[in-house]
Structure 1
């Protein structure tokens, strides 16, 4: 029976990873061992579970049904084992988070390091994804999002700064060459460096002041996906044009003089990120992480 459960665990890992090599890396096994395990499981069930091509591995209809039914059971078994181990005084288990790239720059990394220092036996996996996917459906314990509408059975816990701002910036060399915009609509005649969501939609430039809100579809001289935000800021520093990004990303460059704030009285503010998860029976590592975040937030950060 234990071997069967191990084989099922390998199968679920392959489905989640979308391939043998990625699953093998996550499991600490060789790709050959993973492939042999899947072959053994398919032979035992007399059913093909995965369709293999040179480029991808996808579950068959039977494989999708098996993964959907067995993954929650395996997760519950892992949670039960972690809970028993944790009663001995040391927290064990695994925490899987689905997060946008924005929180990986300077918000989440120090929190994760401090949490893992408190709980050295906990393993953490961070899936960085800028698509608005359901973290639970993606087989994660919790997700981190900005301003996402949540289902009634979800709990949201603030993480990091309660308020953030989007900021507009340019290099002194660009402003000396192109002039300093006096109003957001002046940006329509400037070189702009824009981001694009993973969905393919360009990120709009939004401004607000004294109750007036303006959303602009500025012309993009250069467009970069959200995962390339650091490169976009680098291009702005080199003088290619104006960029709009999280203020906390740009502050070090303002301090150094590499970038100059532009239209600062028009910068919009928004709520900081939240950790969200199902309220029913969170696994021990997630409960501990939520308690850690709430303790961190007592000082009103």
Structure 2
């Protein structure tokens, strides 16, 4: 088989084209948001929201409603509950996140155990990329496009918020409003990514591209370009690998992202472990 055939053969299937489109859209949206999440230190928040949507998805299955609706509702509930506990008690943010997301996740587990025959557990946990319908595809495109548009419009404000909240307040930007908007975007982006990789792997898409870009550059503007480029590349590689090896599509996409992060961790020009050790003898001689 020629290399061109390896690239073109999978594209003759409609389900592969849809999977590619959905994964690329989800990867780009998650990657852009991940840049700010990494800088602010909200990685655990992404983990919390991705797990807290489980009962919403389970209830949607039971009621026959689009699962995105239930997921978005419970994502917003999780974000709001974490904010309320954090702002009205002496409990620190990490503890508030832990309490809220484990409680909601446990609620989802109870629902699934109560109605196991009516809920597609594999779809919820691991996504269903190769079974994406045309309606699901447009749902991801619309929600992803909305989230990405807001991030592009507010990118300067989000960046100032991430680097210096005092300065943001000084120029008339409300940190609390931006925080709420970013958390809402986190909830929306989680719903977008759920269709691609499921509850368990969403957090990887929300963190890994931004963390990888952070290792590769010290300029935030370049991070915002590198992260989605990494996401797109890993999405394409992951789908093709899953097609030819007949393995989980969501799993291979996230595994590709983890592989790129590992390479950046080892060989990044400025921060790579191997790169710094190779430079050390030269520094000593100089």
Which category of TM-score, normalised to the shorter sequence, fits these structures? under 0.3
Structure with higher RCO (Cα < 8 A, 6+ apart): 2
Per residue, is there more strand in 1 or in 2? 1
Per residue, is there more helix in 1 or in 2? 2
TM-score where L is the length of structure 1:
0.24
